Structure 1
Amino acid sequence: MPDSLMIFAAGFGTRMGALTADRPKPLITVAGRSLLDRTLDLARDHGIPQIVVNAHYRANQIVAHLAGSEVAVAVETPDILDTGGGLRAALPMLGDGPVFTSNSDAVWRGPNPFEVLAGMWRPAEMDALLLTVPVDHAVGRQEDGDFSMAQDGRLTRGGALVYTGVQILKTDRLFDIPDPVFSLNVVWNRIAAEGRLFGASYKGAWCDVGHPEGIALAETMLEAA
């Protein structure tokens, strides 16, 4: 079972417009709590002992925000490494074996997403397990779906399921990519071609806060609890 987590917090947050002119997106607040802290709350509730947050855009603010906590920060400099490159660069801080990864621009209401994935992880047949929601239940989502899921849980590209930003991934697959900067999508495509990319369904409520309108939508979603 994974005992480490990588939280992606290095991006520029360009879809947030003026809101990220003076701060990184993970430090934007929803209902009085930052997006990053909301993700950390879920990780701590699940008891994940090793947590690493990467940072690039306004990295000093991420470092200051986490100072004095148990969370390690992997600062990407001089270049941002994208999700795959960033995760690979942070592996010395995360340890061996599969890891949880999480974006930091979503708000959840319902079961702990890390617990949902942990309960469905089958490492003998899976190289990655992605948590998904139907696109028509994805609050704040502005794009189409990402995947389709077969009856056995295997994922293929295209369909009505949205990736929520949380997964379990075997990290040895990262070393198959020669480029220093690459997206995890490259890894998923290789895993899917081998029939080892799986999905799990999230039964609670999920909101994408990657754009300004998502803040109010997330706060409304939380008030409905």
Structure 2
Amino acid sequence: MPDTAMILAAGLGKRMRPITDTLPKPLVPVDGRPMIDYLFDSLEEAGVRRIVVNVHYLADQLVGHISARMGDSVIISDERAELLESGGGVVRALPMLGTEPFYILNADTFWLDRPGGRPHLSSLAEAWDPQRMDMLLTVAAMDNVIGYGGKGDFQMDSENRIARYDGMSRDPFVNMGAAIVSPSIFDHAPAGPFSLNRCYDEAIARGRLFGLHGDGLWLTIGTPEAIGEAEEAMDEFRSERAAGPHP
């Protein structure tokens, strides 16, 4: 199981304005808690010992919160001088992340595990196969994701190998922003800013991008309107958990 993770938290959060005019997106509260805290909970539960968080926009606020919440257990990858996008941000942090596979988490996507079920990061680690995979992404069916407004990201075959959604398949999946990656995928990465989409496409070309269905409740917070939708779904999910199985 990976003991290292990176949280991608350096984005500008433009679609979340006006909330993000004065608050970095990872600190936007959902159900009374900053979004990034849900990720810290999941990483702590999975026994992850080293966490790297990249920062750029309103970085002082984010660093202050991380320090108060996690003490010195989080390493800050400072991108205040230049925003490096998702892929470039990971490359910048590689010396802090080490040479073994690690988790990558998006700061604006989080989940609630089903009671009694396997924690998702543990399931992801169990499904990871470095002999076949460069990256293992968490995916969810579009109708199982709260706050997603797109047309689908990927499609999967019977072996859970991922390809880009072709716009015609019946069952597209959404990339839920929780993955395990081999650092070797970045061996030939460009210098400077670039998107992780480049790495996805390279892994697809090699037949080494795979997916794992995310169980539980999955939420993506991209707009102010998505906050209320997420909180309503969380209340319903917790009520169902409290009620337990029907006889």
* Distance in 1 separating the partners of 2:36 and 2:64: 13
Q: Which residue number corresponds to residue 27 of structure 1?
A: 27
Partner residue, 1:98: 101
Picking from 200, 207, 212, the partner of 2:219 is: 207
Aligned counterpart for 1:75 among listed residues 58, 78, 84: 78
Q: Deviations over 1:64-93 (max 9, x none)?
A: 112234111111131100111100111111
What's the counterpart of residue 56 of structure 1?
A: 56
Structure 1 SS opposite 2:125: helix
Residue 47 of structure 1 pairs with residue 47 of structure 2: yes
- 1:206 deviates by 0.7
Deviation at 1:97, TM superposition (A): 1.4
Instruction: Give every structure 1 segment of 4 or more consecutive aligned residues whose post-TM-superposition deviation is greater than 6 Å.
Output: none
| Match in the other structure for 2:144 | 137
| Alignment gaps of 5+ in structure 1 | none
Q: Quote how far apart the aligned CAs of 1:9 are.
A: 0.5
Match of 1:185 in 2: 197
3-state SS of paired residue (1:96): coil
How many matched pairs?
Answer: 225
SS of the residue 2:17 aligns to: helix
Note if contact 1:109-1:221 (Cα within 8 Å) is conserved in structure 2.
no
Which of these residues, 170, 178, 183, is aligned with residue 171 of structure 1?
183
- Aligned-pair CA distance for 1:178: 2.2
Structure 2 residue runs without a partner (length 5+)? 239-247
The structure with the larger Rg is 2
Classify the secondary structure of the residue corresponding to 1:141.
coil
Q: Distance in 1 between matches of 2:150 and 2:52?
A: 29
Alpha-carbon distance in 2 for matches of 1:215, 1:77: 27
- Match for residue 66 of structure 2? 66
Task: Indicate the percent of aligned positions where both proteins have the same amino acid.
Answer: 39
User: Considering only aligned residues, what root-mean-square deviation do their CA atoms show, in Å?
Assistant: 1.2
Offset from partner CA, 1:148-187 (integer Å, 9 cap, x none): 0100110000151000000001112212122311111101
Q: Secondary structure at the match of 1:129?
A: strand
Q: Normalization by structure 2: what TM-score? A: 0.88
Matching residue within 88, 91, 95 for 2:91? 88
Q: Secondary structure at the match of 1:183?
A: coil
